[in-house]
Structures are given as structure tokens and as C-alpha cells.
Amino acid sequence: MRLNEIGQQLRAYRLESGMRAEEIAARLGVSRAALYRYEKGEVIKLDTVQRLAELLKISPLSLLGIGVEYYSRTIGFFERVRQLEETADQVLQLGEPICYLVTSESYDGLLAQIFAETAEQAGSDAPTVKALSEQVLGIMVARKRAYQMRRPNLITMISEPMLQRFLDQGIAESMRLSPTLRAFCRKMAAAEVESIATMLETEPMGLQFSLIPGGEPTSNCTLLRQRDRASLVINPFRSDASCVNASGVALVTSAPEAVTSHQRVMEVMWRDSLKGAAAARRVRELLAGHAVQ
């Protein structure tokens, strides 16, 4: 058993459950400190794993890193992605209009404003929503910080229709925002797309972008490769979506057939996509058309 990985998955599933650490520890019959030690990778008995799985309503195999992991809340899912990114040597992403890991600090600042405004709309639940939003944003910022320190090889494929809609609707397109904030979301979207065009032109070391012409990909997925394994992430949750009302089920698996099948498709899409100067020109054409509107 890889105790460190069990601990990581325990933390992700604890956040996914919505239960406090104190509650889980009490129902398990251990101290909160003991639960945190399990999450840090200390020795844990198999019967404790079984009881934890029952409490968290998951398969013991998933907690042991053998089965498929499922997440229906952004907080648990983003925490699990953060863990995988921390040790990944290569990240291959498909399906979002931008790549969160290389967005600007201003993007995070705007997300904080968006989450704060949506929390205000929650009425009596505002304190709970605010606390959850801050926790999710903290996990996301930790992901970006880890990427900036480690700089794994990052490959991102973006579809042209999705990029166009991102420019038209702006950041957080699915969320109900004030007219002032919505206008700022459109302005910030254009700034992030301009940054993508620059990265396509300059091709920074270890960072590759490409633009997929035609239709949108039918899947939002990421392949994370470590030295001794690869993980496939199927992701219905965008970085700019609500962390409270987002609906969908994300999954994480290291099953060789799943990894190989998705890698094969992504390699074909990468081969047929626009890259470098050609992709940058097309992105700038989209930006110019958006500015005229």
C-alpha cells in the first residue's frame, strides 16, 4: 500500500463529503490529530480503511487507489487534481477555453470577486457559501503556485468555438452576475486570450498550446504522467464555474486501457491542431473580431 497516496485520497474524499474533520474523527473513534496523521501518510490499518470508506460512502478500493475515483463536488475534485499535479512530470489538457495553471494573478482576483458576489446572493447561506468559495479558491491558487515552482511539461489544446464563446460571454459564463462584473469578466477574458496568443508566439520552454479548428471536443479531460504511472482525469468542472451549484461527476483513474485510449485520441487531435505562429494568428483574428463587436 502507498500510504502517502491513501492519505491524499482520504483528504480529497473528506472534502468531497462535506463533513468536518472533527465529525469524521468522532464517528471513527479517533482524535482529529490522528485523522490528520492518516492524511499525511502515516500507517493506517485495513479495518480503519474499511470504516472510513463506509463513513465517506465510497469503495475501499478507491481509497486504496485501486478503483476509479468519483467526485461530484468541485472542492474534493480540485484537491485531488492538486495532489496529482504536485508529482506530475507532464500534464496534457483538453477541453477548457483556457489553461488555469498559466492564467494571471488578476484572473484569481476576479474569481474572488465572482465568488464573493455569488455568496451574497445566497441569503442566509451566505457565510457557508463564502467559506466554501474561499476554500476552493485557496486550493486552486495552491495548484498554480505548485506549477510555477515545479514547471512540469504542460500541453494544452483549446478549441476555437470554445475560445470564441469565452470571448463573447466572458469568465464565469454560467453564473449570474451584476452587469458591472459581467462586463469586467468579458474584459478579463480578452486579456487572458491575448496572453495565450503571446505564449503561442513565444513558445516558452515546457509549455505548448495548440488551437483545434472546427467543432468542440466532446470530452474535458487531462492526462497526468508521473515516472511510474499515468492518471486520467475526466472533468465536468471548469475553474470559473460555481463551486456550490456545479453539477456533474468527475472521475480519476489509472486503468491502462482508459489512459491509452484517451492518449491515442489526444495525440491525433494534437497532430491536426494549429500550433505556433499559425495558431497565434488565428487567436488574434478572434480577438480582433471580438473588439469590433
Q: Which tens digit of pLDDT belongs to each residue from 230-270?
A: 999 998 888 888 887 778 899 999 999 999 999 999 999 99
Q: Model confidence over 39-94: pLDDT tens digits?
A: 888 888 888 889 999 999 888 888 887 778 999 999 999 999 999 999 999 999 99
pLDDT category at 4 given cuts 50, 70, 90 is confident
Query: In the prediction, which pLDDT does 111 show?
Result: 95
Q: Tell me the C-alpha distance between 212 and 268, whole Å.
A: 11
Mapping DSSP onto H, E and C, the string for 103-163 reads CCHHHHHHHHHHHHHHHHCCHHHHHHHHHHHHHHHHHHHHHHHHHHHHCCEEEEEEEHHHH
User: Do 68-292 and 1-67 fall under one CATH topology?
Assistant: no
Q: Enumerate residues 6+ apart whose C-beta is below 8 A from 90.
A: 152, 153, 154, 155, 223, 224, 225
Q: Tell me the C-alpha distance between 44 and 7, whole Å.
A: 9
Q: Tell me the C-alpha distance between 231 and 248, whole Å.
A: 19
Judge whether residue 145 has pLDDT over 70.
yes
Q: Model confidence over 196-219: pLDDT tens digits?
A: 999 999 989 999 999 998 877 777
Which CATH superfamily is 68-292 part of? Answer: Endonuclease Chain A (3.30.870.10)
Domain extents in the chain: 1-67, 68-292
DSSP bridge pairs for 156: 93, 209
Query: In the prediction, which pLDDT does 258 show?
Result: 94
The class of domain 1-67 in CATH terms is: mainly alpha
C-alpha cell at 108: 484569481
- Residue identified by cell 470577486 is 113
Cut 0.85: pTM above it: yes
